[in-house]
């Protein structure tokens, strides 16, 4: 994503002087939001220790709803209404695109409604991940949104296209000159039949590009044409989402979000340590375990699972909680494939720990996971960590004489010989990742380790992501 190279590396600053809230869906009009970039403290250098603890969920007295603590610079105000965003999903929607958009926009301070166009709130997305929507699209028909953003994926884009309620909402959005956008297949498959690309310069996924009106089709990762914003695919979704933040909340908000996402320029850091092609080759379909908990980083979980499944790896999402449903760090509800205690009966070629400070704390407490990691190491099998989850490996003594990378907040706690300033680091049987925007590179590196650079490049092409083998 070279077009993001102008965003400097840093973290997303928020204030500690106010309560940090993400308003519930139906708060009274008096409760509104004011976003402004502050530099009084760094969220990741002093993160809240109980991001999703019960003490951080307060009942709203005026409505039967809740207000959740989230890493947003939000305050109670009486001057500026909260920006409302609608992101619809359907059977076969591209999960990376949906989750990245929801997470980024919520982190920036928008009130994002994830709405199902299906009859059920539980929606199976294109890579097999099941996400639970906030509400049904039918509940959105009489609401006004500052932005309507459509993820792509097939047949997800067709399911969105065939939803009459969503069509009416989006057409009204365009008629009233409010922001709307689409990514991947959605511009060609969904917006074009609705007549919403007229007199608009547009881009989309290369596989659907020939369906766009040729004289207004633009081969670019991001295209903004008045109220309409379009983009090419999962590999460009961070750029797409940050652009939506800029249009919705201003340039300062988008710059801070770019820093928070660790959108480092690839020229300033090594992308990964050198490794021999197909060094992890196995004589069967590689099996990967991703343990998750309440508070696990949504983007990292969904991105890695989506990309690895595209390469035909056998990926299991396992919940360390007492039930399959977990709530990610940005309020997205994900259904795991199994409980960890059941998944522990199997042997996995690779175990990957996702980040998210609250999720990491909960993973750290799992005795089953601790046992699995020790067995993984003693048996000579592979393991890895993303973002803040490297702290789990360090506490278990699994980083001795190993090079690794992690989120800047964690790097400072590592032994002096361990940290490497890189998006992805491979050292023998361990692979680590800096976090968030580096997650695609992390997943593609895993694919290359098992199958070679050829398959990794093929998957990257489908993502519209620039993969450069070391």
- Tens of pLDDT, residues 421-448: 889 999 999 999 998 999 999 999 999 9
Q: Are residues 129 and 171 in the same domain?
A: yes
Nearest to 188 by CA among 208, 167, 161: 208
Q: Given pLDDT bands bounded at 50, 70 and 90, which one contains residue 24?
A: very low
Whether 326 and 334 have beta carbons less than 8 Å apart is answered as: yes
Torsion of CA 125, 82, 9, 11, to 10 degrees: -100
Whether 2 is in a domain gets the answer no
Range of the domain at 407: 287-463
Looking at the structure, do residues 162 and 113 belong to the same domain, yes or no?
yes
Per-residue pLDDT band for 215 (boundaries 50, 70, 90) equals confident
Q: Using alpha carbons, select from 345, 350, 285, 343 the residue that is nearest to residue 317.
A: 343
**pLDDT given at position 60:** 33
Check whether 283 has a pLDDT greater than 60. Answer: yes
One domain, residues 200 and 316 = no
pLDDT at position 14 over 70: no
Last residue of a domain, one of 260, 295, 323: 260
Confidence of residue 371 (pLDDT cuts 50, 70, 90): very high
HEC sequence for the chain: CHHHCCCCCCCCECCCCCCCEECCCCCCCCCEECCCCCCCCECCCCCCCCCCCHHHEEECCCCCCEEEECCCCCCEECCCCCCEEEEEECCCCCHHHHHHHHHHHHHHCCEEEEEECCCCCEEECCCCCEEECCEEHHHHCCCCCCEEEECCCCCHHHHHHCCHHHHHHHHHHHHCCCEEEEECCHHHHHHCCCCCCCCCCECCCHHHHHHCCHHHECCCCEEEECCEEEECCHHHHHHHHHHHHHHHHCHHHHHHHHHHCCCCCCCCCECCCCCCCCCCCCCCCCEEEEEECCCCCHHHHHHHHHHHHHCCCEEEEEECCCCCEEECCCCCEEECCEEHHHHCCCCCCEEEECCCHHHHHHHHCCHHHHHHHHHHHHCCCEEEEEHHHHHHHHHCCCCCCCCECCCHHHHCCCCCCCECCECEEEECCEEEECCHHHHHHHHHHHHHHHHCHHHHHHHHHHHCCCCCCC
pLDDT of res. 13? 36
The mean predicted confidence, pLDDT, of the chain is 84
d(CA 306, CA 234): 10
User: Is residue 23 scored above 50 in pLDDT?
Assistant: no
Catalytic annotation on 433?
no
Q: Is the residue at 314 inside a domain?
A: yes
In this predicted structure, the answer to whether residue 77 has a pLDDT above a threshold of 60 is no
Give the per-residue pLDDT at 418: 79
Asked if residue 277 is part of any domain, the answer here is no
Each residue's pLDDT tens digit, 242-272: 999 999 999 999 999 988 888 754 434 445 5
pLDDT of residue 264: 56
Mean predicted confidence (pLDDT) in 86-97:
98
Nearest-angstrom CA–CA distance, 393 and 427: 14
- Tell whether the model's pLDDT for residue 300 goes beyond 50: yes
Note the pTM of the prediction, 2 decimals.
0.82
Q: Per residue in 93-112, pLDDT tens?
A: 999 999 999 999 999 999 99
pLDDT at 33 over 50: no
270 in a domain, yes or no? no
The region of weakest confidence among 3-17, 216-230, 366-380 is 3-17
Task: With a cut of 50, say whether residue 20 has pLDDT above it.
Answer: no
Are both 297 and 256 inside the same structural domain?
no
> In the predicted model, is pLDDT for residue 39 greater than 50?
no
In a domain, residue 279? The reply is no
Q: 302: which residues sit within 8 A by CB, 6+ positions away?
A: 95, 96, 99, 100, 129, 334
User: Which residue, among 464, 453, 21, has the nearest Cα to 233 in the 3D structure?
Assistant: 464
Q: Per the residue annotation, which of 140, 163, 237, 387 is the catalytic one?
A: 387
| Residues 236 and 301 both lie in one domain | no
pLDDT tens-digit readout, 134-184: 999 999 999 999 999 999 999 999 999 999 999 999 999 999 999 999 999
Question: CATH code at 169?
Answer: 3.40.50.880
pLDDT of the residue at 366: 97
Q: Is the pLDDT of residue 274 over 80?
A: no
Residue after which a domain boundary falls, among 243, 260, 277? 260
Asked whether the predicted pLDDT for residue 49 surpasses 60, the reply is: no
- Find the mean pLDDT for residues 11-17: 34
Q: For residue 15, is it within any domain?
A: yes
- Choose the final residue of a domain: 244, 260, 276: 260
**pLDDT on residue 208:** 97
pLDDT of 289 > 60? The answer is yes
For residues 292 and 430, membership in a common domain is answered with: yes
Distance of CA 369 to the CA centre of its chain: 23
Residue 373 and residue 225 share a domain: no
- Identify whether residues 324 and 234 lie together within a single domain: no
State yes or no: pLDDT of 470 exceeds 70: no
Indicate whether 281 belongs to any domain: no
Query: Does 273 reside within a domain?
Result: no
In this structure, are 27 and 92 located in the same domain? Answer: yes
Residue 263 is predicted with a pLDDT of 79
pLDDT over 70 (residue 53) = no
Are 310 and 248 within one domain? no
What is the tally of structural domains in the chain?
Answer: 2
pLDDT tens digits, residue range 181-196? Answer: 999 999 999 999 999 9
Count the neighbouring beta carbons within 10 Å of the beta carbon of residue 206: 13
**% of the chain with per-residue pLDDT over 70:** 80
Clarify whether residues 248 and 99 are in a common domain.
Answer: yes
Q: Tell me what the mean pLDDT of segment 119-126 comes to.
A: 98
**Residue 377's pLDDT is what?**
95
Do 318 and 430 fall within a single domain? yes
Percent of the chain past pLDDT 90, that is, above it, reads 71
Mean pLDDT calculated for residue range 381-403: 93
């Amino acid at each position: 994503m070279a077009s993001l190279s102008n965003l400097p590396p840093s973290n997303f600053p928020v204030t500690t002087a106010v309560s940090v809230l993400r308003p519930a869906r139906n708060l009274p009009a008096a409760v509104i939001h004011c976003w402004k970039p502050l530099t009084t403290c760094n969220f990741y250098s002093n993160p809240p220790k109980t991001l999703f603890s019960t003490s951080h969920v307060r009942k709203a007295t005026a409505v039967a709803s809740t207000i959740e603590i989230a890493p947003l610079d939000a305050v109670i105000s009486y001057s500026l209404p909260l920006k409302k965003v609608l992101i619809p999903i359907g059977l076969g929607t591209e999960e990376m695109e949906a989750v990245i958009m929801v997470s980024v926009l919520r982190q920036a301070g928008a009130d994002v409604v994830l709405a199902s166009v299906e009859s059920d709130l539980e929606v199976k997305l294109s890579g097999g991940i099941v996400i639970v929507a906030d509400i049904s699209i039918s509940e959105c028909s009489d609401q006004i949104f500052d932005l309507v953003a459509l993820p792509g994926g097939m047949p997800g884009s067709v399911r969105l296209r065939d939803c009459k309620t969503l069509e009416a909402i989006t057409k009204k959005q365009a008629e009233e000159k409010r922001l709307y956008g689409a990514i991947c297949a959605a511009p060609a498959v969904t917006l074009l039949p609705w007549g919403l690309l007229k007199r608009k310069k547009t881009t989309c996924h290369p596989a659907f590009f020939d369906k766009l009106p040729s004289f207004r089709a633009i081969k670019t990762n991001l295209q903004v044409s008045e109220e309409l914003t379009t983009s090419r695919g999962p590999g460009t979704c961070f750029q797409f989402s940050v652009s939506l933040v800029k249009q919705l909340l201003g340039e300062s908000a988008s710059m801070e979000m770019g820093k928070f996402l660790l959108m480092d320029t690839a020229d300033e850091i090594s992308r990964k340590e050198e490794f021999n092609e197909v060094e992890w080759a196995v004589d069967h379909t590689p099996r990967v375990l991703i343990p998750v908990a309440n508070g696990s980083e949504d983007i990292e979980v969904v991105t890695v699972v989506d990309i690895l499944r595209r390469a035909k790896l056998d990926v299991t999402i396992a919940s360390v909680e007492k039930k399959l449903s977990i709530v990610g760090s940005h309020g997205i509800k994900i259904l795991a494939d199994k409980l960890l205690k059941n998944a522990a009966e199997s042997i996995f070629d690779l175990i990957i720990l996702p980040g998210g400070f609250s999720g990491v704390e909960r993973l750290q407490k799992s005795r089953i996971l601790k046992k699995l990691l020790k067995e993984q190491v003693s048996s000579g099998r592979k393991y890895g960590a993303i973002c803040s989850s490297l702290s789990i490996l360090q506490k278990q003594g699994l980083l001795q004489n190993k090079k690794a990378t992690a989120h800047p907040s964690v790097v400072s706690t590592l032994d002096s010989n361990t940290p490497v300033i890189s998006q992805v680091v491979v050292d023998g049987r361990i692979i680590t990742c800096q976090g968030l925007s580096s997650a695609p590179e992390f997943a593609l590196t895993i694919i290359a380790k098992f199958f070679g650079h050829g398959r990794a490049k093929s998957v990257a092409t489908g993502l519209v992501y620039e993969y450069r083998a070391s």
